[in-house]
């Protein structure tokens, strides 16, 4: 069955089964969590600028809605498929549960290369996709957000389409919107800022301090990697390497983060950046640094390269960047791994803040947002450490156990309908 073919889905299932075995979870609950509640596949036909019509495949998967409405991004990428979307929806379920949000796990996407479409074509694609999945989403049903290949503008088009259909401005239907149409302060940098917070919590746990001797490499200098680099550099850390699809740049004395951000935001590739050493993405992962942040895509640290990883702390900024084998091997080597469902949860936490603000029509200042984000992540981090010590497992398993315990309790309390 196509649902089960992706390595990310198999990995998510393996994590679930392992956590369930350790904590002796109810097998009936686990069986329900192995399958999505709802998986929607739609056709998305649009008229291209040359007058021809092209049809794209779109998906929206709602994995589990026990804790509340679905929450999860919309991805525009050529590799989007049902299996990957389901895996990401499952991870969102556990992520929301872990950090205590009243939200379920969902994910969506369209199989398309957004770079090959004009702005007008992208708008047409987004509006038609919003129309097709419209019956299944909404402020009380499922709340999409940006992901790879989508941004604030995408969310504004999606919100407007939903609002036009329903006849009123619906601020709560999506998050990650521009401020002027109901977005939240701090949302754009939230995931990266959360990564930086979690690295600080881990350093406290390891009795270390981030200073100008701390070296950091970031695989994926985008929506997550950039704000994480800024926050950590402001604390004095040396960001010695960053990468994009074209390759990586390296300077053992530390890169100028703000110059690099201006370069990338000017739609320039890192391979064309001057005054630094150029290395491959694989070489970046294997650098001898204190902290490694894989913040691009899943499955970059695997059985093939796990023995070459030299960092003592790995912060999973992306979803599933380490395979199960890599996590187990590195954990045995005393590498501290901050699991993805904790490390990159900053984005969904501030998305939750945005959703709440939209429903209340009352907006918070940036200090309140950052303080509340910090507190939620700090409490979740402490809970994962507690589970790690109690069950004598690595942080990855501990995070899944902590999330699963909350889901199991809620699903038992709600019961099964019909009984």
Residue of 37, 71, 95, 107 marked active site = 107
Mark whether 107 is an active-site residue. yes
Written in H, E and C, the secondary structure of 327-388 is HHHHHHCCCEEECHHHHCCHHHHHHHHHHHHHHHCCCCCHHHHHHHHHHHHHHHHHHHHHHH
Length, in residues, of the chain: 419
Give whole-number Cα distances, 292 to 43, 78, 163, 249, 286, in Å: 39, 27, 42, 14, 9
Q: How many Å apart are CA 298 and CA 341, to the nearest integer? A: 13
Distant-in-sequence, close-in-space partners of 297: CB < 8 Å, separation ≥ 6: 148, 220, 318, 321
3-class secondary structure, 335: coil
Extract the tokens encoding 31.
């069986």
Q: How many CA atoms lie within 13 A of 334 on its CB side?
A: 1
Q: How many Å apart are CA 182 and CA 234, to the nearest integer? A: 29
Extract the tokens encoding 310.
């030299």
* Residues involved in catalysis: 107
């Amino acid at each position: 069955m196509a649902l089960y073919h992706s390595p990310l889905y198999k990995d998510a299932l393996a994590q679930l089964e392992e956590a369930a075995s350790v904590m002796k979870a109810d097998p009936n609950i686990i069986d329900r969590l192995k399958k999505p509640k709802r998986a929607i596949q739609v056709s998305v036909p649009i008229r291209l600028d040359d007058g021809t019509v092209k049809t794209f495949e779109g998906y929206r998967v709602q994995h589990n809605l026990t804790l509340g409405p679905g929450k999860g991004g919309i991805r525009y990428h050529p590799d989007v498929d049902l299996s990957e979307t389901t895996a990401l929806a499952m991870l969102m379920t556990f992520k929301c549960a872990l950090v205590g949000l009243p939200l379920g796990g969902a994910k969506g996407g369209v199989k398309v290369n957004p770079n090959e479409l004009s702005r007008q074509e992208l708008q047409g694609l987004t509006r038609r996709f919003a129309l097709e999945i419209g019956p299944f989403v909404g402020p009380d049903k499922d709340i999409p957000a940006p992901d790879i290949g989508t941004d604030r503008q995408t969310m504004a088009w999606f919100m407007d389409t939903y609002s036009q259909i329903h006849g009123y401005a619906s601020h709560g239907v999506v998050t990650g919107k521009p401020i002027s149409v109901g977005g939240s302060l701090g949302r754009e940098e939230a995931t990266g800022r959360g990564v930086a917070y979690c690295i600080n919590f881990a350093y406290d746990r390891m009795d270390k301090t981030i200073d100008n001797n701390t070296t950091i490499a970031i695989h994926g200098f985008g929506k997550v990697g950039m704000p994480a680099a800024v926050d950590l550099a402001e604390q004095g850390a040396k960001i010695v390497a960053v990468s994009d699809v074209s390759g990586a740049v390296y300077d053992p004395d530390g890169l100028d983060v703000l110059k690099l951000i201006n370069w990338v935001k000017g739609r320039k590739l890192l391979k064309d950046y001057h005054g630094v050493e150029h290395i491959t993405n694989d070489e970046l992962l294997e650098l001898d640094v204190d902290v490694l942040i894989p913040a691009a895509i899943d499955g970059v640290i695997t059985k093939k390269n796990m023995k070459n990883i030299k960092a003592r702390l790995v912060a999973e900024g992306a979803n599933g960047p380490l395979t199960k084998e890599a996590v187990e091997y590195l954990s045995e080597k005393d590498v501290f791994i901050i699991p993805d469902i904790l490390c990159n949860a900053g984005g969904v936490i501030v998305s939750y803040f945005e959703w709440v603000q939209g429903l209340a029509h009352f907006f918070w200042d940036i200090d309140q947002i950052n303080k509340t984000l910090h507190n939620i992540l700090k409490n979740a981090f402490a809970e994962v450490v507690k589970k790690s010590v109690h069950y004598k497992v690595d942080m990855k398993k501990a995070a899944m156990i902590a999330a699963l315990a909350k889901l199991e309790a809620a699903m038992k309390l709600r019961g099964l309908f019909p009984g």
